[in-house]
Structure 1
Amino acid sequence: MAEESDDSEKTEDPSQKRLDDALKKGDVAKSQEVSAWFVLLGIGLSIAIMAKPAAAGLRDTLRAYFEFAHTIPVEGTGLKELWYQTGTSIAKSLALPLLMLLVMAVAGNLVQHRLVWSAEKIKPKFNKISPISGFKRLFSSESLVNFSKGLAKIVIVSGLMVAVLWPERDRIDTMIFRETSFMLAETRELIIKLIIAIIAFMTVVAAADFLYQRHRWFEKQKMTKQEVKEEYKQTEGDPHIKGRLRQLRMERSRKRMMAAVPDSTVVVTNPTHYAVALKYEDGMSAPVCLAKGTDTVALKIREVAKSHDIPVVENPPLARALYATIDIDQEIPEEHYKAVAEVIGFVLNLKRRRRGRGRTGKS
């Protein structure tokens, strides 16, 4: 019940990391029916293409033994040589059919998933030898599905055999009275017909089972909401910690920015929502932004500027435009040169007048 409850809570699609981890463990979507289909196809091709050459090779080898049986040594080194020649001849005759079956067996796995090297599946695990776990697997839903599937295949394949061989029953009855070469040729023909019928049926079974296994594997890889959160923490970091670090970086940046406001030449404001502190000195190619902000930060910039006797100029369009187009320690864009030059010119003239008044008052 606990496992069913856990499965019911897996509502989130698996992440790429979850899929990669499953692949590393050798946990892949695999249909035995697809592998069986490829092996069956290999058997059919071997019989259709390679049966005659293989049978001819075996026939020639065995015929020599029957024709010259009286001359074959059966003791000492002669017997050893006989076994060696016989084994070599049989191996040569069966090499290509066996190689065909090996290639098709490997292809049956490669078409379903890429090559995976993993020792996870062969590691000893207690639940594999536990009688309780084995009993649960024996009567699990998967075992019942496989049993029903196997029983259905036996019934249908038996029906196909009857459907293919029943029309040929008269020929099968008289086959034993024919010459060996004709009997073998007709037997090969009937076997090929039977394999074609079974392959056609197994094509449907393999395709359906492949889709079922893919769906079942994907559902197995799904994650609970808690697993998604834990994985995010492992790969991206705890969002609370990241948020706190981001906040600390912003606070430090804001402090450095405020510390630079006293060095500015002018602060352009909205007047309440935006504030941009600019610095310009002789020899600079263009004014530079030392600080900028909105609302609370803008208010703080204005307060620092006033406390250090930095001119604050209200120009809402320019303040909004500068805030949107420049970053800290960046020169203003060319399209704002004229407007900023007017503001800075106004501030410099204001400073000159103040200096002039100061000198007049002293004299």
Structure 2
Amino acid sequence: MAGDEDKESKTEEATDRQISQALEKGNVPFSREAPLFASLAAMLVCLVFLIPQSIGALAHELSRFIDDPGGFSLESGSDATALLWETAMAASHFLLPSIITLSVAGLAAALLQNSPAFVLERISPKWNRISLASGWGRIFGGAGLIEFLKSLFKFTAVAVLIIILCDTDQYAVINAMFSDPVLIPALLLSLATRLVSAVCVGIIVLVALDLVWSRVKWRRDLRMTKQDIKEEMKQTEGDPLVKARLRSLAKDRARQRMMTAVPKASFVVANPTHFAVALRYQREEGGAPVVVAKGADLLALRIREIATKHAIPIIEDKPLARALYDSTEVDQWIPPEFYRAVAKILYFLYSREK
């Protein structure tokens, strides 16, 4: 029940991090039917192209056992070994191309599904693999039911195809009993080719469905709960509460630094109650006026208090104060469009000092 509830709670699709971790652990989507189909297709290739060419040579090699059985010397163990070696070489010339073709097809079917990777965790011993409860769940669970249905479909398809093939060629098989024995291998090869072809056609739909199902099931098994998503965000991006606290502390430190820079300002442009921008301009320093502090509402009032305390001129200009607040940043020069307005204020202040 707990496992079912856990699966029901996993409603969120897997994140990129979850998928990459699964791939690193060797948890990849894999269809068991694809290598089987590839092996059957390779067997069909062998029956059509390889075996007909090599079966004549094999029959020629083995015909000596029937035509001249007394021509082999078996007086010692070395003679028997030589005979067995010669027979094995003849059989290997017949079987080796087919074995290579079947192996390459099986490996290709596995490699085309996923890139190869050596993952030690996949082969390390785990106690749950020998647990009776886990084994019972794998056999009689949902995955076990799917595997049973696939096996039942394959068994039924092969049985039906064999029955149809035998019913179609029963007269040819009976007539072969009264024909030349040399023709029997060709008949068996023809029957095997037709049977393998029919099986390949019969299970190709199963293979296609299994390829899709393996990936759907893999995605479904990687689903996460909403709590898992939150935990992953905390691990990758940090706790939102902590990040908010850090941002608040950073703003406080920036505000304190800004307040300590207000006494260095040359003048403050203010809206009487809402906005205040402190500017510094020294001709010997060069450059345009610099914004040393700015603020709105309570922060604006605090800037005005500090300016008043240090006898810094406060110029009330509502449009200019609002425009400077919206368009400038602290510790940066004012934009060129404000040069004329600020120059008038500086001229006024210098004239008043004189």
* TM surpasses 0.5: yes
Q: Which amino acid aligns with 2:32?
A: Q
Partner residue in 1 for 2:25: 25
2:307 maps to which residue? 305
Hey, what does 2:101 align to over in structure 1? Answer: 100
- How many Å apart are 1:322 and its aligned residue? 3.0
Listed as ranges, the matches of 1:160-309 within 5 Å are 160-283=161-284, 284-309=286-311
- For residues 121-148 of structure 1, give each alpha carbon's deviation from its aligned partner in whole angstroms, at most 9, with x where no partner exists: 2221112222233233332222122222
Q: Aligned to 1:314, which of 313, 316, 328?
A: 316
Mind listing any 5+ residue stretches in structure 1 that lack a counterpart? Answer: 357-363
**Cα displacement (A) at 1:327:** 2.4
- State the distance in 1 between where 2:108 and 2:165 align: 29
Q: Which moved more, 1:230-239 or 1:176-185?
A: 176-185
Residues 23 and 116, structure 1, Cα contact 8 Å, conserved in 2: no
What is the CA-CA distance between 1:8 and the residue it aligns to?
0.8
For residue 341 of structure 1, the aligned residue among 339, 343, 347 is 343
Matched-pair contact (CA < 8 Å) for 1:261–1:301: yes
C-alpha displacement of 1:180: 4.5
Contact 1:50 1:97 in 2 (8 A): yes
**Kept in 1: contact 2:51–2:94 (CA 8 A):** no
| Number of equivalences | 352
Alignment of 1:49-198 (within 5 A): 49-67=49-67, 69-74=69-74, 75-198=76-199
Instruction: Name the aligned partner's letter for residue 348 of structure 1.
Output: Y
Shift of 1:26: 1.5
Residue number in structure 2 paired with 1:360: none
Q: Percent identity?
A: 36
1:328–1:158 Cα change, 3 Å: same
Letter in 1 for 2:137: K
Contact 1:53 1:93 in 2 (8 A): no
CA distance in 1, matches of 2:41, 2:299: 75
Displacement, 1:316?
Answer: 3.6
Runs (4 or more) in structure 1 with deviation over 4 Å come to: 64-69
Contact 2:157 2:199 in 1 (8 A): no
Shift of 1:78: 3.4
> Distance between the aligned counterparts of 1:180 and 1:271, measured in 2?
116
